[in-house]
Homo-oligomer: A and B are copies of this chain.
Amino acid sequence: MKTPTALMTDLYQLTMAAGYFHHGLHAKRVSFELFVRRLPENRRFMLFAGLERVLDYLRNLHFTESQIAYLRQVPHLQTAMSYDFVEFLRDFRFTGDVWAMPEGTVCFAREPMIRVTGTLLETQLVETFLLSAINTETIVATKAARIILAADGRDVLEFGTRRTSPDEAVASARAAFIAGFAATSNVEAGYRWDIPVAGTAAHSWTMSHASEEDAFRNYVEVFPKHATLLVDTYDTIEGVKRAIAVAHDRLKGIRLDSGDLLALSTQARRLLDEAGLRDTKIVASGDLNEDKIQRLVAAGAPIDGFGVGTELVRSSDNPTLGGVYKIVFDHTEDRPVAKFSEGKATLPGLHQVFRKYRDGIAESDVIGTAPEFHIDSTPLVEEWMKDGRLVRPLPSLAKIRSRARTQLAEMPVAVRGLGPPNPAEAYDVRLSHGLQTLIDEVRKREMT
């Protein structure tokens, strides 16, 4: 049972809907595109995520009688809730077309992540939900991709649920998995999408026993095949020794959650190896982010897996994505639309992104008009919905994840790096000759 989502929007989408309806403008056919004007601060790319939720929303969008009754008594809307408009809302379904990049696509500023074509009313109404879903899932997937790049092949586990809201936690676990995380602690995400779930015990498990030794023994007894023991409740190195003594060859792993992770992991590895436990893994967690992980990896810390929470779901170096959703074409009047104001300029027309490769590495993106064809390049924006219906099955999460891996691997070294982006090394995104010509035409038309 899905929560009805039609009211998960800003009121002004409904006032505008009522206004368009009243003036007979609602059926005008237009296209909107969703993009960011600039890359988020401290980011060299974005990893697109959230489309599945958007398509799910669009397919299920409708107003219940109870929602309509509510809208009829909102003071602001009262004058606009005519009999005809109420009837219209009762029958309302999204009937538009959707083109978008597949989830797991690496993308850049000004590139259309989603394009929605339909009536002015329906394309406008869905703006808020689309921005909400894409802004939040893409910012997490992007952060997750940076963490994956930092971990350089080591496993990363998603532990963020307690630092984000209950529902967003589930979406964040999915976004992290797309980017390459190995597993999540969020059980709902495992239940919903079959994402591998991970987690063993908290410090409170140890503290609820008379001694650390009792706690370890009791754990191994219940989970003989999955005994990863949290060793830092009291003294970490003593904890490692105790874990070895109690679990022997059933010790699948140990987790370090505090202290100098380089020094502790090095000592722990030596103790494990001396005990013949070469296959026992070391997992580290505790306020980790991509920079700390990169330093640990560079220093050769013998850590097999990293757990990341807070910094993934509420990235302190960049908590928001500034996605916008702007009208680009008026089909009724067959007219490309753009804004040219400084810092808020938009690109007129329907767009496609053509990615060019050299020796398997992405070299540049060309933003062109949708009908263009560029030889030796891959178009990134694909058709998903036509007249409100899916035109093909949604890709599996495994397929999305695999796309993300490929996309990240194909990026040049400068894009895959973590430090503050250097404009001189920024990925090359240019406008096609056709689009540039169109911009000049529209600008000329606007000035006259």
Contact = CB atoms under 8 A, between A and B. Distances in A.
Given A161-B132, A165-B133, A222-B19, A319 B327 contact: no
Interface in A127-174: 127-129, 131-133, 135-137, 159, 161-171
Given A10-B185, A314-B320, A168 B170 contact: no
Nearest to A5: B166
Given A201-B12, A208-B120, A132 B164 contact: yes
Interface in A169-187: 169-171, 185-187
A140 to B, nearest CB: 10
Contacts of A20: 208
Given A20-B208, A23-B218, A76-B199, A187 B7 contact: yes
Contacts of A76: 197-200, 223, 226
* Oligomeric state, in copies: 2
Contacts of A25: 208
Nearest to A326: B204
A163 B218 CA distance: 45
Nearest to A162: B131
A385 to B, nearest CB: 19
A276 to B, nearest CB: 24
Given A132-B161, A132-B164, A15 B200 contact: yes
A129 B187 CA distance: 12
Interface in A93-129: 120, 124, 127-129
Contacts of A198: 11, 76
Contact of A132 (B79, B132, B165, B201): B165
Given A8-B186, A163-B320, 11 more contacts: A7-B190, A8-B166, A9-B187, A20-B208, A75-B226, A79-B225, A132-B164, A162-B323, A165-B167, A165-B168, A314-B320
Interface of A: 1, 3, 5, 7-16, 18-20, 22-23, 25, 28, 30, 53, 67, 70-71, 74-76, 79-80, 120, 124, 127-129, 131-133, 135-137, 159, 161-171, 185-188, 190-191, 197-202, 204-205, 207-208, 218-219, 221-226, 258, 310, 314-316, 319-320, 322-323, 326-327, 337, 339, 344
